[in-house]
Chain A
Amino acid sequence: MMMAQPLAAGIQLLDETSQKNIAKAVELSVGQFDVSNKRTNLFKVNTITSGLVLVLYDGVAGIGGVAYMMLPDSDYIEGEDANPADDHGKPAKFANKAVSLVWEKMENMGAKPANTVARLIGGSQLFTFGGGGGNPLNLGSRNAIACRTLLSRLGIIVDKTEVGGNRPRNIIFSLLKGDCLVSIRGGREFLL
């Protein structure tokens, strides 16, 4: 459903093998997660706005995982858990479920917390002028706090974050070296 965005010039920041494999990158939409232990694999997520993407990478085992979540806590939403089986195809919608889902799969493949780093990308927000007393639209920081808490319980360190602002972001995550290319729409591109 999400429309493709043109690949940015920033792909040159990735290694040559990853550049060659870029057409085969697996695209995730909101609420989805995926893991892989193939170093030639890549994941991509386009037009991340208020949602938050967690990128996990165990560089020793070459195992990577990505989860694209939108909300911090399913327990906070009234009636959300009335029918837990019905996740509308979006198992990673909530941070409190996404983190354990993606980590369990990585752990089963042999990933270790001590070798794993986490990166967080997303959480752009609308302007709310005045208001005061905290911004109810600032989902990104609430998601990031939820993620950090859950990851610290697993013993995983959040290495880098690219969270906030008002722009959409695209990412491409390569398992070869664990590089994560961030493209801010209409703005700069860099490896996080």
Chain B
Amino acid sequence: MSTPTPTAKLTLEQISADIDQMPSVPDVIMRLSRMLEDPNVTAEELGNVIQLDTKLTAQLLKISNSAYYGLNRKIMSMKEAVAILGMKALKSLIYAILSSKMLMADLQGYGQLDGALWLNALTGATYAKHLAKYYSYPEPDTAFTASILRDLGKIVLNNHVQVGFEAIEAEAMEKRIGFQQAEEAILGFSHMQLGEHIAIKWKFPERLVNTIRYHHTPSDAPKDMSKNDKLLLAIVHLSDGLSMMMGAGVGSDGLMYPMDITYLNECGIETDARSVEALIDFTMDLESEIKILADSIKHK
């Protein structure tokens, strides 16, 4: 990691060096990430590639057989798992496993310790999956994935935020701007921009790069996105906001983030008081699902 200083802004070279020091993504994940975007890939082909990574295979089988899916038969092979759970569900699990190791990190800078970032990620992801169904987004598993990955950039920016926290907070409160915008003003980069660099480096599909890059500021996203990609971004933005409102794994940056009501409304998501309260009511009932999922992905 580059040495954080309270005054100097980060350069692109510094953050690239920081990102290079992150644990590398196994080749198999990179291959899978590309395969999962390819509509012509068969279940058998997918199962064959997953099997190359024994640890990933073991984890996927463990989750497939956990209470999360509540299947009444035991899944013994990757091929069976692909066939029964479906490629899209499997994809979201692969991303969840990949990100869990990194998101379990203690983030002193953001005041997210003891798995708080991971709890926040899982909570948002579970909300996003259900919101996708509610708002007729065709790929709920993609919404899960996009939401779980949204704060990847925090892992790299954490050290710098730790040093600059007071200045960032003061900037946000004085100028009435979001914490992410204050990060950019003080440190030179926001955790959204860092996340974007990580996502590009790891060759994530473009729509995931966009949801990571714009999850706090959806109105800044490219205007030429498809209607579905816009809705996906709205769902990730909303899932993030709801998980903060519920207090799930929230850090010292607290709720110092903007909610883009206009963007949500443009995507058909109503935000009057009654609708917001109904959403909160709905998300509260997902707590047990989140707990079951967290337990099934637990390492060791």
**What distance in Å separates the Cβ of B121 from its nearest Cβ neighbour in chain A?**
13
Determine the chain A residues whose CB is within 8 A of the CB of B258 once the complex forms.
Answer: 126-129
For the complex, give the distance between the alpha carbons of A142 and B290 in Å: 27
Determine the chain A residues whose CB is within 8 A of the CB of B278 once the complex forms.
Answer: 77-78
Tell me if B254 and A185 are in contact (CB < 8 A). yes
When each residue 64-108 of chain A gets 1 if its CB lies under 8 Å from chain B and 0 otherwise, what string results? 000000111000111010000000101001000000000000000
Which of these, B116, B254, B280, contacts A71 with CB under 8 Å?
Answer: B280
Tell me if A49 and B271 are in contact (CB < 8 A). no
Determine the chain A residues whose CB is within 8 A of the CB of B114 once the complex forms.
Answer: 3-5
Which of these, B119, B256, B280, B281, contacts A1 with CB under 8 Å?
Answer: B119
Determine the chain A residues whose CB is within 8 A of the CB of B272 once the complex forms.
Answer: 136
Interface check A181, CB cutoff 8 A: no
Residue tally, chain A, CB below 8 Å to B: 41
Closest residue on chain A to residue B119 by CB atoms: A3
Tell me if A127 and B257 are in contact (CB < 8 A). yes
- B258-300: which have CB < 8 Å to A? 258-259, 261, 271-278, 280-281, 284-285, 287-288, 290-291, 294
Determine the chain B residues whose CB is within 8 A of the CB of A127 once the complex forms.
Answer: 176, 178, 255-259
Closest residue on chain B to residue A74 by CB atoms: B281
Choose, from B46-54, B148-156, B245-253, the stretch at the interface: B245-253
**What distance in Å separates the Cβ of A9 from its nearest Cβ neighbour in chain B?**
15
For the complex, give the distance between the alpha carbons of A25 and B248 in Å: 21
For the complex, give the distance between the alpha carbons of A45 and B241 in Å: 21
Tell me if A139 and B276 are in contact (CB < 8 A). yes
For the complex, give the distance between the alpha carbons of A137 and B259 in Å: 9
**What distance in Å separates the Cβ of B164 from its nearest Cβ neighbour in chain A?**
13
**What distance in Å separates the Cβ of B186 from its nearest Cβ neighbour in chain A?**
16
Tell me if B276 and A70 are in contact (CB < 8 A). no
Interface check B115, CB cutoff 8 A: yes
Interface check B4, CB cutoff 8 A: no
Determine the chain A residues whose CB is within 8 A of the CB of B284 once the complex forms.
Answer: 30-31, 70, 88, 90, 93
Determine the chain A residues whose CB is within 8 A of the CB of B254 once the complex forms.
Answer: 49, 124, 165-168, 185-186
In the complex, besides A139-B280, A165-B254, 6 extra interface pairs with C-beta distance below 8 angstroms are A93-B281, A126-B257, A136-B276, A167-B255, A185-B251, A186-B111
Give 30 pairs: A residue, B residue, CB < 8 Å, sorted on A.
A2-B248, A3-B113, A4-B114, A5-B113, A6-B113, A31-B284, A47-B247, A49-B245, A50-B246, A50-B247, A51-B247, A76-B274, A76-B277, A78-B278, A88-B288, A93-B281, A93-B284, A126-B244, A127-B178, A127-B255, A137-B241, A137-B245, A139-B245, A167-B254, A167-B256, A168-B247, A168-B251, A185-B111, A185-B252, A186-B252
